[in-house]
Structure 1
Amino acid sequence: MGQLEEIDADRLRAWLPEVRSAEATAALMVAIAYDRGIGTGELASWYDRSEEWIDETIAALDSPGLVSTVARLEGVDIEAVAAESNLAPATVRDWFDALADDSVDEAADVVRRYAEGSVEPVRTGSPSTVYHLDWSVVAERGWSMDDEDLFEKAADADLGLPEYGRFLVEPNESILEAAERGGRSWPYACRGGACSNCAVVVVEGDVAMPGQSILSDEQIREANARLSCVGVPITDEVKLVTGVGDGDAFADLRLPSPTDGPGAAD
C-alpha cells in the first residue's frame, strides 16, 4: 500500500508525460517515489533538494490542489491570470483544481496553454445556470443582499420575469448575451466593459470579467460587482442581483443607453 493519502499515484504517473518543465517532472517523480516507500531524507539526497522542499512538494501534490500545483510548477502565473479576468488568485487556483474532474490529457492541455504564456480569460467549458433577482424587488420587500436565503425568499414569493428567473449561459457567451438570447431586456450601453449600465452584484458563485476597465477594485472585491456585458460565469451556478447600475454607487460610471429616448440625460 502506498504512502500518498489523497491522490492515486497512477494519476501522478499519467501527468508525467504531459508536463514540460524540469521542476514539474522532478516534483511528480518525488511524489511517486515517496508513494513507493522512499523516505524524504533519501529523496532530498537524490534530487539535491531540501527536506522542506520535498515535504512541501509531496503535500501540495497529494491534495485537492494537484492541478494548480502542477500549473505553478509548469510556470503558470496565477496572479496574472487572475488580474486578466478580474478574479482573486484563490478563485483561479480553485478553477485549475476543478480540472481534476477531467481526464489528465484534457487538464494538461489547459495548463499547457497558460504555461506557454496565453494569459487568457478564465472560462468554464460547460454551461452555467444563472439565477437573477432585480434590485427593486429586494428593496421593496425589505430584503438584503447579505441574506443567506435571499434567493430562497425570491422563489417562495412566486416571482416571475422580469424580476426573477434563471437561464443557461453557454461557454462562449457573456451573461448579457445569454439573458438577451432568453428574451430578457437588460440595461446596457457600451457592451465592452467601459460603463456601469449593465452592472450586477454576484451573491453566489463567481464571474470573470475579461476586458472590464471601469469598476474599481473595491467595487469588485468588496461589493462583488460585475459587468454582465463581459461577465463570464466560472461556476456551475451563479446567483446575481440585477438593476444595481441605476444606484448611486455606479451613477458616475454610467453612459447614455441606446434604449434611452430623445433628451435622455448624459
Structure 2
Amino acid sequence: MGRLDEVDADRIRAWLPEVRSAEATAALMIAVAYDRGIGTAELASWYDRPEEWVEETVDALDSPRFVSTVARLEGVDVEAVAAESNLAPDTVRDWFDDLADRPVADAADVVRRYAEGAVEPVRTGTASTVYHLDRDAAEERGWSVTDDDLFAKAAEADLGLPEYGRFLVEPGESILEAAERGGRSWPYACRGGACSNCAVVVVEGDVAMPGQSILSDEQIRESNARLSCVGVPITDEVKIVTGIGDTEAFADLRLPSPSDTAETSD
C-alpha cells in the first residue's frame, strides 16, 4: 500500500510526461518514490534538495492543491494571473485545482499555457448558470444583500423577470452579453470596464473581470462588486444582485448611459 493519502500515484505518473520544468519533474518523481516507501532524507540526498523542501513538496502534492502545486512548480505566476482577472490569488489556485476533474492532458495543457507566460484572464471552458435578483426588489421586501438565504427567499417569492431569473453564460461571453442575448435590458454605458453603470454584487460563486479599470480593491474584495460588461463567470453557478451601479457608493463612477443620451437628443 502506498504512503500518499490524497492523490493516486498513477495520476502523478500520468502528469510526468506532461510537465516541462525540471522542478516539476523532480517533485513528481519524488512523490512517486515516496509513495513506494523511500524516506524523505534519502530522497533529499538523491535529488540534492533540502529535506524540508522534499517534505513540503510531498505534502503539497498529496493534497487537494495538487494541480495548483504543479502549476507553481511549472512557473505559473498566480499573482499576475489573479491581477489580470481582478481575482484573489486563492481563487485562482482554486480554479487550477478544479482542473483535477479533467483528463490529465487537458489540465496539463491549461497549466502549460499559463506557465509559458500567457498571463491571460481566467476563463472556464464550460457554460455557467447565472441567477440574478434586482436590488430594489430585494429592498422592497426587507431583504439584504448579506442575507445567507437571499436567493432561497427570492426563489420562494412571487418574482419573475426582470426582477429575478436565471440564464446561461456561454464560454467567451460576458454576463452582460448573455443577459442581453436572453432578452434582458440591463444598464450599461462604456461596455469596457471603465464605469460602474453595470455593476453587480456577487453573492455566490465568482466572476473574473479582465480589463476593468474603475472599481477599487475595497469594492472588489469587501463588497464583492463586479462589472457585468467584462465579468466572466469562473464557477458553474453564480448568484448576483443587479442594480448596484445606481447606489451612492458607485455614484462617482457612473457615466451617462446610451438611453440617457438618446432622451437628451429628443
Q: Tell me the TM-score normalized by structure 1.
A: 0.98
State the AA in 2 paired with 1:50.
P
- Do structure 1's residue 207 and structure 2's residue 204 form an aligned pair? no
Q: Deviations over 1:4-44 (max 9, x none)?
A: 11111010001111001000000000000000110111101
Output the CA distance in 1 between the equivalents of 2:263 and 2:91.
Answer: 43
Q: Deviations over 1:187-235 (max 9, x none)?
A: 0010000000000000000000000000001000000000000000000
State the AA in 1 paired with 2:11.
R
Output the CA distance in 2 between the equivalents of 1:198 and 1:145.
Answer: 17
What residue in structure 2 maps to residue 126 of structure 1? 126
What residue in structure 1 maps to residue 41 of structure 2? 41
State the AA in 2 paired with 1:75.
G
Structure 1 ranges of 4+ moved more than 4 A:
none
Output the CA distance in 2 between the equivalents of 1:129 and 1:51.
Answer: 46
What residue in structure 2 maps to residue 246 of structure 1? 246
Output the CA distance in 2 between the equivalents of 1:233 and 1:153.
Answer: 23
Output the CA distance in 2 between the equivalents of 1:263 and 1:141.
Answer: 34
Q: Report the count of equivalent residues.
A: 264
Secondary structure of the corresponding residue to residue 264 of structure 2: coil
Output the CA distance in 1 between the equivalents of 2:254 and 2:116.
Answer: 38
Instruction: Compute the displacement of 1:263 (Å).
Output: 3.1
Output the CA distance in 2 between the equivalents of 1:262 and 1:232.
Answer: 31
What residue in structure 2 maps to residue 25 of structure 1? 25
- Do structure 1's residue 93 and structure 2's residue 93 form an aligned pair? yes
What residue in structure 1 maps to residue 136 of structure 2? 136
- The range that moved more, 135-144 or 158-167, is 135-144
Residues 47-66 of structure 1 aligned to structure 2 (within 5 Å):
47-66=47-66
Instruction: Compute the displacement of 1:104 (Å).
Output: 0.6
Output the CA distance in 1 between the equivalents of 2:13 and 2:75.
Answer: 20
What residue in structure 1 maps to residue 162 of structure 2? 162
Instruction: Compute the displacement of 1:74 (Å).
Output: 0.3
State the AA in 2 paired with 1:20.
R
Output the CA distance in 2 between the equivalents of 1:28 and 1:94.
Answer: 20
Output the CA distance in 2 between the equivalents of 1:29 and 1:155.
Answer: 51
Instruction: Compute the displacement of 1:50 (Å).
Output: 1.3
State the AA in 2 paired with 1:3.
R
Q: Deviations over 1:133-163 (max 9, x none)?
A: 0000111111111110000101111200000
Residues 175-190 of structure 1 aligned to structure 2 (within 5 Å):
175-190=175-190
Secondary structure of the corresponding residue to residue 258 of structure 2: coil
What residue in structure 2 maps to residue 192 of structure 1? 192
State the AA in 1 paired with 2:77.
D
Instruction: Compute the displacement of 1:262 (Å).
Output: 2.9
Output the CA distance in 2 between the equivalents of 1:156 and 1:68.
Answer: 39
State the AA in 2 paired with 1:42.
E
State the AA in 1 paired with 2:135.
W
Output the CA distance in 1 between the equivalents of 2:158 and 2:129.
Answer: 19
Output the CA distance in 1 between the equivalents of 2:47 and 2:19.
Answer: 18
State the AA in 1 paired with 2:88.
A
State the AA in 1 paired with 2:192.
G
State the AA in 1 paired with 2:24.
A
Secondary structure of the corresponding residue to residue 235 of structure 1: coil
Output the CA distance in 2 between the equivalents of 1:192 and 1:149.
Answer: 32
Q: Tell me the TM-score normalized by structure 2.
A: 0.98
What's the Cα RMSD here?
0.8
Instruction: Compute the displacement of 1:48 (Å).
Output: 1.1
Secondary structure of the corresponding residue to residue 98 of structure 1: helix
Output the CA distance in 2 between the equivalents of 1:167 and 1:38.
Answer: 52
Output the CA distance in 2 between the equivalents of 1:225 and 1:146.
Answer: 13
Output the CA distance in 2 between the equivalents of 1:10 and 1:121.
Answer: 31
Unaligned runs of 5+ in 2: none
Secondary structure of the corresponding residue to residue 154 of structure 2: helix
Output the CA distance in 1 between the equivalents of 2:158 and 2:52.
Answer: 57
Output the CA distance in 1 between the equivalents of 2:127 and 2:100.
Answer: 18
What residue in structure 1 maps to residue 258 of structure 2? 258
